[in-house]
Structures are given as C-alpha cells and as structure tokens.
Amino acid sequence: MGISRTVRRPVVVLAIGVSLLLSGCSNTSQSELDKAKAAGASQEAAQQSASAAQQAQATLAAEVQKLKDQLAAKTQTAPPPTTTQVQTVQPVQPVQPAGTSCGANVSAGANTSCPFALNVAAAYLNQGGGTQSVVVYSPVTGQNYTMNCVAGVPSVCSGGNNAVVYIR
C-alpha cells in the first residue's frame, strides 16, 4: 500500500464524518462518528509505525555500510606480516632412571628395594596407570606405604621412606 493511499483514507473518512456532522444529518449517530475517528486514528498509527520501521531500516543500512567501510580501511592499512625465524628444537630424550634395574621394565631408586619396586609397579599398572596414588606393601619392612605416581616415560612413583620407583 503506497504512502499517498494510506494518507488519503483517514482524511476521506474524517471528511465524511465532519461533513455529516456539519450538515446536521440526523441519520449519523455519535457512535458512528466515534468509529470513523477510531478508524482514522488506527490508519494514522499504522502509517507512523511503517514510517518508523523505514527509518530504522535506513539507520541499520547506514551502520552496516559504515562498518564495511571501516573493515575495508583496516584491511588496506594492515602492515604486511613479518617473517619469523624458526628455531630448531632438539627432541627430549626420555629420562633414564637412576638406581637398580629390577627387571620387567622397573627400576628402584637408591632407598628402594626391588621387591617393593615390583609391588609398586604391579599396583600402579593394575589400577590403569596414569597420575594417581597407590598404597603398596613392602616385604622388606612389613609395612604399607602410599606412593604418588606421575604418568610419563618413565612413570615415576615416589613416597614412603624416600622411595622412588621408575616404571617404563
């Protein structure tokens, strides 16, 4: 519906209502006049709403264009990428456990017996490996000790009386 058509309709409705009122025609009641006024007001409100929507759309279009222009300006003025030097990194060698080899890919530290180290490895591997704590029996001392294990190559478990166990 064009703007000129939406403007003409309320004007025509109001003009008819006013002319009937002025002519003194007794067939037109107050309620009919109120209905005509309400129809005109409704049309005017619809027109204002459409106008506001058009203004909002124009504002948004202007904002979008402004943002596009800003992006284009930044893209054109961005400095060229700088080259970086690549540094060669030597691979890390696995830690070689110090201490006594107990067999079965297990080594015991200086303060650790092989029977205890093997018990630690068995408990650690039975619980699925990873970083965790295990409680292990020592056949040498006859006591249980908590060993805190950290996953790696090798995995290292430490605790008890300064005990260290390496599991590969």
DSSP letter string, 86-117: PPP-PPPPPPPPPSEEEETTEEE-TT--HHHH
CA distances from 28 to 10, 83, 116 (A): 18, 87, 111
Same structural domain for residues 106 and 53? no
Task: Give the amino acid at 32.
Answer: E
**Window from 43-47, 124-128, 158-162 with minimum mean pLDDT:** 43-47
92 in a structural domain: no
Same structural domain for residues 71 and 129? no
Specify the pLDDT at position 167: 96
Q: Quote the CA–CA distance of 149 and 146 in Å, as a whole number.
A: 10
Evaluate the CA torsion angle 11, 14, 19, 20 in order and state its sign: positive
Domain boundary among 59, 75, 91: 75
83 in a structural domain: no
DSSP H/E element including 164: strand 163-167
DSSP H/E element including 51: helix 30-77
Specify the pLDDT at position 103: 92
80 in a structural domain: no
pLDDT bin (cut points 50, 70, 90) of residue 29 is: confident
124 in a structural domain: yes
* Overall number of domains in the chain: 2
Q: Which domain holds residue 116?
A: 100-167
DSSP 154: S
